[in-house]
Chain A
Amino acid sequence: MSARTWLDASKLPSHAFGSRNLMWWGSVGFVVIEGAMFAMLIATTLYLRGATASWPPPGFAPPSLLWGTLNTGVLLVSLWPNNRLRKAAEALDEKATRRWMWIDDSFAVAFLAVRAVELTALGVRWDANAYGSAVWAVMGFHTLHLLTDAIETFVITWFFHLDPSPKRYIEVSEDCLYWNFVVLSWLPLYAVVYWLPRWT
């Protein structure tokens, strides 16, 4: 073979935030998959509503607005500390990262607690009729996301305290991304569960 030349990769950085990082793409991939599932869930609900005479069926009241709306508020407010956390992590600011992480954790506890109450105020059981099944499917699926997001955040908090290495900062920033998804995906679901039955 004729003369060879080499590109020297040894001095490239080994970590990066955002789209130069493989993990970021992995998270985006799963966000898209779960987003597609939410979309199908909404389509299912609309389809069932279209196939039934009244939504909710006679004898059932729409879910009480209080708790659901409160939780929507909690989730929306949490976007603020969450994005402060992301900025802190991306600036490699250890103190600020710790601080905002604790605030994020408290928000996670809060929205899980409100969600628990919310589930008792839906006004229908999943096995009552197709309407109930749809409401519970939406709520259950989103609650699953809240739970995994909360647990992930707790675990990452712990790991960060053990070893605040570059890799951990990236994990924190990725977790913030997922958090944003979980919050924003709630908005259409909120409309479907709480407002669709009220919309004639």
Chain B
Amino acid sequence: MTADARRPPAVEVLDAPPSPDDEVRRRLEESWGRPRTFGGWLASTSHADIGRRYIVTAIVFFALAGLLAIAMRLQLARPENGLLGPDAYNQIFTLHGTTMMFLFAVPVMNGFALALVPLLVGTRNVAFPRLNAFGYWVYVLAGALLWGCYLLGMAPDAGWFSYVPLAGPEFSPGKRVDVWAQLISLTEISALVAAVEIIVTVFKMRAPGMSLDRVPLFVWSMLVMSFMIVFAMPAVMLSSVFLAMDRLVGTHFFNVAEGGDVLLWQHLFWFFGHPEVYIIFIPALGFVSSIVAVFARRQVFGYPAMVLSLVATGFISFGLWVHHMFATDLPQLGESFFTAASMLIAIPSGVQIFCWIATLWGGRPVLRVPLLYVLGFVTIFVAGGMTGVMLASVPLDLQVHDSAFVTAHFHYVLIGGAVFPLFGAIAFWFPKMTGRLLSESLGRWTFGLLFVGFNLTFFPLHQLGLDGMPRRIYTYLPDTGWTGLNQLATVGSWVIGVAVVLFVVNAVRSLVRGPFAGADPWRADTLEWATDSPPPAFNFLHLPVVVAREGLWAPGAGRLWVAGLDAPGKREVLVTNLLDAEPEIKSELPGSSLWPLAAAVSTVATFAGAMFTPWAVLWGSLPIFLALFGWGKPELEKKRRGETAPGPAAEPEAAG
């Protein structure tokens, strides 16, 4: 018996499980499984289903927005090109940016968190399974609303940050910007829901023994991301509601003539917008840490420094927003403060990079595809980070602000800092989620093409920005001399396109006939590798007990398990305490339900209606209420038996 098991003495230790494994499996399958029907699929509340749906949907949006990018690049390949007119171009770059940020990058990270966090912390589902399903449905319906409007020719066209007054009622009549405002509110609802899920799951549902100092770095990064969502997204929800109200019911938040202010919008948006980019970036750091550890075959160097850096990045990122507004009307002292803060954030980023390098340096790196993506990430992200530090300097930024240089910076950090780790993460966890291995050689080709194509596309944009090319222009004149570099970038975008196609081919091919992966193809350290691939609906036959930070690599791992979480007909999970993960209670989670879908449909319909009349809010609240009512209604018929009375259960004693 390991001395360090940190089990509360209130829980009995058994030398043999109370029921045989087969019996446990049968019971768990009965209570956690869902019917293989369409209805069962719609009603699913399994975190694995929902997480996978988030990921797949987000990748579809990535491909769509990527096709728009190809269209933009084609338009810019020649001066005065007639392929896209200004109206089409403005819709396309707005839709590209909006889709990439709100429908791809954030949801895909949330999807990975929802799919993997319960496995990494060793539990059976997220804390609020129905809410989770609701969040997904809101997201996918909101995305469908936006793209449906694009097909109808009414896509938003004021850019992904919709500056007023351009986006206000006077200069953007019609419904285009309303679509944008409602999309923002809806996707933020979905992100906030996911954030609460992740926080509570990490705080209260970790396997016994996983005290906070043993939480994997991946989980830490998802936790930091979730907290950032909680504090950042309210600002943008509020501002998009203000915008919608200015447009619909005649309020004057941004109307200069009636005491409103145009910079109010910029402050509210960037107070969210800056943290937003780190909301995308921080989960990627979690991917990198997981991959580095496994392929260097040792724990990531400097765990406390890594955790502190994540948390510091989260905090500092709320103090940078003004660096997007240096060209506006701001006091100089304030600007210097934001310059300093923007540079300060390079330190935690740097520390993490240095720690990974130290890990690889001291380990025995195995150069598989996931690690290739990490190397790509390090090179591209460091370049993008350097241009970021340049932009933080006011005199430099005043030159290159709103130019192609900024476009280059943010694609370097977004694609280098988030998409490369994401592709690495897919290569890494694909076997866990599907049970099949991806092709290594196709993977190498994809990586190579992506790396070359990416730099071909975005490196020239630095020079174009320095040469004076603004962003968001649908065309330029021949006398500007910008043609050659733009053509290079266009060629590069096609190379990226080929890489993305190869990637999809690889995934689909492996799904059908890839070799089976087995439970732990990488001999990895975190708990998701301690169960089958793909994991069963209940994740673990027996919940593992964690004995050290090294997880499965720890000497005593795999000896101690949790039994007795298999009462027939109930979806039971173990609730543990925040600091030490000592068992407190076992909680029953609700099962499958169609009500979340109903609630999501009525919510999205209400927001869509509110583009046309404020009364939609009133009418819509009725179906929303009914759906929530059905969702929460006690299942009175099924009087439960065997429920112990609530109340102060014996306080678990200190670790023994």
Contact = CB atoms under 8 A, between A and B. Distances in A.
Interface of A: 1-17, 19-22, 25-26, 29-30, 32-34, 36-37, 39-41, 44, 47-48, 51-52, 57, 90, 92, 126-134, 136-137, 151, 155, 159, 162-163, 165-170
Given A9-B563, A10-B565, A33-B234, A21 B587 contact: yes
Contact of B192 (A8, A33, A129): A33
B398 interface: no
Given A1-B558, A6-B561, A14-B644, A29 B583 contact: no
Contacts of A129: 252, 258-259
B114 interface: no
Contacts of B569: none
Contacts of A39: 234
Given A21-B587, A26-B200, 15 more contacts: A4-B561, A6-B16, A6-B564, A7-B11, A7-B545, A8-B11, A14-B643, A21-B585, A29-B199, A29-B200, A30-B196, A33-B234, A36-B231, A36-B235, A133-B246
B284 interface: no
Interface in B110-125: none
B623 to A, nearest CB: 14
A178 to B, nearest CB: 14
Contacts of B608: none
A41 B15 CA distance: 58
B52 to A, nearest CB: 23
A16 B231 contact: no
A64 to B, nearest CB: 21
A129 B629 CA distance: 38
B252 A151 contact: no
B5 to A, nearest CB: 8
A6 B259 contact: no
A13 B646 CA distance: 7
B395 interface: no
B268 interface: yes
Interface residues of B, number: 83
A10 B633 CA distance: 27
B255 interface: yes
In this complex, the member of A29, A48, A51 whose beta carbon has the largest number of chain B beta carbons within 10 angstroms is A29
A93 to B, nearest CB: 12
Interface string B122-163: 000001100100000000000000000000000000000000
B492 to A, nearest CB: 40
Given A9-B565, A130-B258, A163 B636 contact: yes
Given A36-B231, A47-B267, A9 B586 contact: yes
B17 A2 contact: no
Interface of B: 1, 7, 10-18, 127-128, 131, 192, 195-196, 199-200, 203-205, 208, 230-231, 233-235, 237-238, 242, 245-246, 249-253, 255, 258-261, 264, 267-268, 271, 542, 545, 558-565, 567, 572, 574-575, 577-578, 583-588, 625, 629, 632-634, 636, 640, 643-649
A92 B127 contact: no
A133 B562 contact: no
B16 to A, nearest CB: 7
A14 B585 CA distance: 6
A36 B131 CA distance: 21
Nearest to B578: A19
Contacts of A12: 10-11, 574, 583-586, 649
Contacts of B545: 7
A114 B65 CA distance: 50
A10 B205 CA distance: 16
Contacts of A131: 259
B583 A9 contact: yes
A55 B195 CA distance: 38
Nearest to B566: A10
A163 B634 contact: yes
Contact of A16 (B561, B584, B643): B584
The 7 closest A-B pairs by CB, nearest first: A10-B564, A15-B646, A130-B259, A127-B250, A133-B251, A29-B196, A6-B563
B114 to A, nearest CB: 15
B249 A126 contact: yes
Contacts of B267: 47
Nearest to A16: B585
Chain B CB within 10 Å, residue with most, of A8, A21, A51, A151: A8
Given A20-B575, A25-B200, A57-B259, A11 B12 contact: yes
B262 to A, nearest CB: 10
A130 B618 CA distance: 24
A192 to B, nearest CB: 14
A39 B268 CA distance: 12
A130 B260 contact: yes
A15 B258 contact: no
Contacts of B18: 6, 8, 10
6 contacts: A7-B11, A7-B12, A10-B18, A26-B127, A167-B634, A168-B634
Contacts of B562: 6-7, 9
A16 B650 CA distance: 11
A52 B11 CA distance: 64
A84 B647 CA distance: 17
A168 to B, nearest CB: 7
A50 B648 CA distance: 51
Given A6-B542, A17-B646, A30-B196, A127 B587 contact: no
A51 B261 contact: yes
B208 A22 contact: no
Contacts of A132: 251-252
A130 B261 contact: yes
B634 A41 contact: no
Nearest to A159: B634
B252 A20 contact: no
A162 B635 CA distance: 11
Nearest to B258: A129
A163 to B, nearest CB: 5
Nearest to B567: A10
Most buried by A among B14, B258, B559: B258
